[in-house]
Structure 1
Amino acid sequence: MSENYLLKLYHKCLRYPFGRQLFSAFFARKAPYFRSIKPLITELQPNFCELCFKKRKAVENHIGTVHAIALCNGLEMAMGALAEASIPKHLRWIPKGMTVNYTAKADSDIRIIAETPADAWREGDLPVQVKGFRADGTAVIVGEIMIYISAKPKRNPT
């Protein structure tokens, strides 16, 4: 299977200084709220995405930990990058729902991962596993983002 457009772009960006930052900024433009966490995609491959973001005032809540919505933005961005890097060309996806549990205080920089089995890409519901970790490796958020996968409509040749 040939590499899809997003993975090609990711690997092309990696050849440049600050390539991960360049790619991450480009991808974060897909949804403006992704930019609010200033994410850095550190690894992207089929069925796996890892990103990080810094704990800073703009993503903190009233008790000084990373806000729940900032964590969810990270989860959704990682899932979206994974989906775009993994889905076969004849299919499309759309998020359907998200379920999360907050498991510890998010009191440091955050690392987010999204992963799914390689054989999962077929029409219907696909649960994507997502997790966020603080600097000491403790999970601070664990969840599942359900995406709906359908066939792309046939195009009329004109």
Structure 2
Amino acid sequence: MSSVHALWRTTTNLPVVGPVLGKRVFSLLFGQKAPYFATIRPRFTVLEPNRAELVIPLRRGVKNHIGTLHAIALCNGLEAAMGALAEVTIPADKRWIPKGMDVAYTAKASSDVTCVAETDPEQWTSDEPALDVRVRGTRTDGTVVIEGVIHLWVTPRKKD
């Protein structure tokens, strides 16, 4: 189990704080591990192998000139979801690095946005190093505001 997955399970299973507050604690700690992600103040809601979800709250610090979520804030959210998914999904004998991102902005992000990253289990067991993670962001009314693919390069870990 990766350190990210262990942190998720620990924080969301604390009997004193409960899963709701535990998810907030995880989100804060995840932002400390990768500080740039903290700029969007992600709130993770789901983290399991092959699926991660987080919410980017619409607030002044991530708005653009027309008052919607900035495009790069949306991409930051998608990448945070993808990174968390990769950490809890990848087999222990492999490592990953992002190679690129292809996204389309499909509507104005005029509310909080839920960012989702998804893969299929067989993608992680393939010998093919190229792995595509499907990503999308939706407004609170269900409208997709951004969708695309984040391309990963997955290779065997080097042996010491």
Same fold by TM-score, threshold 0.5 exceeded? yes
Q: SS at the partner of 1:29?
A: helix
Per the alignment, residue 36 of structure 2 pairs with 33
Shift, 1:26, TM fit: 1.2
Backbone CA RMSD of aligned residues: 1.1
Cα deviations by residue, 1:24-53 (Å, 9 ceiling, x for unpaired): 111122322111110011010000000002
Match of 1:64 among 33, 43, 67: 67
Q: Are 1:148 and 2:153 an aligned pair?
A: yes
Task: Give secondary structure in 1 for the equivalent of 2:33.
Answer: coil
State the SS of the aligned residue for 1:149: strand
Alignment of 1:5-154 (within 5 A): 5-16=3-14, 17=17, 18-121=21-124, 122-123=126-127, 124-154=129-159
| Range with bigger deviation, 26-35 or 51-60 | 26-35
Equivalent pairs counted in the alignment come to: 153
Measured in 2, the distance between the counterparts of 1:118 and 1:129 equals 13
What TM-score, normalized to structure 2? Answer: 0.92
More deviation in 36-45 or 117-126?
117-126
Query: Counterparts of 1:49 and 1:107 in 2: how far apart (Å)?
Result: 22
Q: What amino acid sits opposite 2:147 in the alignment?
A: V
User: What percent identity do the matched residue pairs reach?
Assistant: 50
Q: Give structure 1 stretches of 5+ with no counterpart.
A: none
TM-score, normalised relative to structure 1: 0.93
